[in-house]
Amino acid sequence: MYIVDNYQLAVLFCIVTMLCWGSWANTQKISGKNWRYEFFYWDYVIGMVLFSLLAAFTLGSHGQGGRSFEADLMQAGSANIASALVGGVVFNAANILLSAAIAIAGMAVAFPIGIGLALVIGVLVNYMTLPKGNAALLFTGTVLIIIAVILNSIAYKTKTRHAAVSMKGIMLSVIAGILMAFFYRFIAASMDLNDFIRPEAGKMTPYTASVIFAAGVLGSNFLFNTILIKKPFIGNPGSYAEYFKGRFRLHIPGIVGGGIWGLGNLFNLIAAGKAGPAISYGLGQGATLVAALWGVFVWKEFRGAPAPVFKILFIMFALFIAGLVLIIKAGSG
């Protein structure tokens, strides 16, 4: 299988994760006008599962290092499989709430609150699980990113001071962020982060863990998303009949979005072996910066905002970049 053998490449993989995790929500915005977010989310989960299987049977099964996907799956311990499955369930609960928050309040509100919380709590949780890297640099970088997230929220509030901001969207973002902070530790616990070439018996490689994780997302989606289709946060109840009547082109954005997120997740898990879970997770959740860039420069969410808003945004971007640099340096020594 393909593995990362140095810290610099691990950082590059984490940057790809950041780009993927900060970009997948664009596919929801693309499909939002014609497709219920609950239906989009089913496509998103299907895309995630398909990508994880494709990666497992290709990159995860060929090469000179480590066990192949099938061999790794056969020897995986039940406790480790359960851990990755739980990670999928926790992530799905968080992400489906985040998708609802995006549909209600938009990316500019949902991402800074939800992913900002996930970043802060997640870095703490993952560092306590496996302390790897310079703690002072890691947490200083995290604090800078927290300030950047707060500034992003201030910029949005200043821009929309005369508009109603949905409290339902804010609350969903908060709950999503808290849940999102904990999913990663369950996947990390199912792998041998010290040695992907000769992993401990019963532990899984990143490729196998990502497949089991995706299975947890898929299985729990039959419960979570079915409830939301019948009792949605916004709009009228739907039905699976409507979903299957949708033209194929309506399904494409969600499938692509799930594949994009799945690529980021796999690269992050692969990188965790060299960078450690706290650093790889922290860099990956820099996705808020990427989402903010999409919102400002592509979706023009701050069009017509007063000049002070753009000054705040400039400082926000500068702090985000500084925070990410410190997190990278935290593991370079």
pLDDT digit string (tens) for 153-199?
788 777 766 555 567 888 898 899 999 999 999 999 999 999 998 89
pLDDT band at 332 (very low <50, low <70, confident <90, very high): confident
Those residues whose C-beta lies under 8 Å from the C-beta of residue 30, and which sit 6 or more positions away, are: 253
Those residues whose C-beta lies under 8 Å from the C-beta of residue 71, and which sit 6 or more positions away, are: none
Residue 5 has pLDDT above 70, yes or no: yes
- What is the maximal distance between C-alpha atoms in the chain? 60
Does any domain span residue 171? yes
Angle between helices 78-105 and 37-57 (to 10 degrees): 140
- Tokens, residue 233: 């946060």
Does any domain span residue 72? yes
Does any domain span residue 17? yes
Does any domain span residue 92? yes
Does any domain span residue 1? no
Work out how many domains the chain is built from and give that number: 1
Domain that holds residue 127: 7-330
User: pLDDT value at position 101?
Assistant: 86
User: pLDDT value at position 227?
Assistant: 95
Q: What does the alpha-carbon distance between residue 160 and residue 141 come to, in Å, rounded to a whole number?
A: 29
- The pTM (predicted TM-score) of the whole model is 0.91
User: pLDDT value at position 168?
Assistant: 85
- Tokens, residue 319: 């702090």
User: pLDDT value at position 163?
Assistant: 56
Rank 110-119, 127-136, 265-274 by mean pLDDT and report only the highest. 265-274
Phi, psi of 204 (to 5 degrees): -110, 160
Rank 86-90, 131-135, 141-145, 230-234 by mean pLDDT and report only the highest. 86-90
Give the type of residue at 178.
Answer: I
Does any domain span residue 45? yes
User: pLDDT value at position 60?
Assistant: 95
pLDDT band at 210 (very low <50, low <70, confident <90, very high): very high
Does any domain span residue 2? no
The per-residue b/e assignment along 72-91, b for 16 or more CB within 10 angstroms, e otherwise, is: bbeebeeebbebbbbbbbbb
The more confidently predicted of residues 142 and 116 is 142
pLDDT band at 120 (very low <50, low <70, confident <90, very high): confident
User: pLDDT value at position 167?
Assistant: 78
Those residues whose C-beta lies under 8 Å from the C-beta of residue 41, and which sit 6 or more positions away, are: 96, 99, 221, 225, 254
pLDDT averaged over the chain? Answer: 90
Does any domain span residue 292? yes
pLDDT band at 103 (very low <50, low <70, confident <90, very high): confident
Across the range 315-322, mean pLDDT stands at 91
Whether 90 and 123 have beta carbons less than 8 Å apart is answered as no
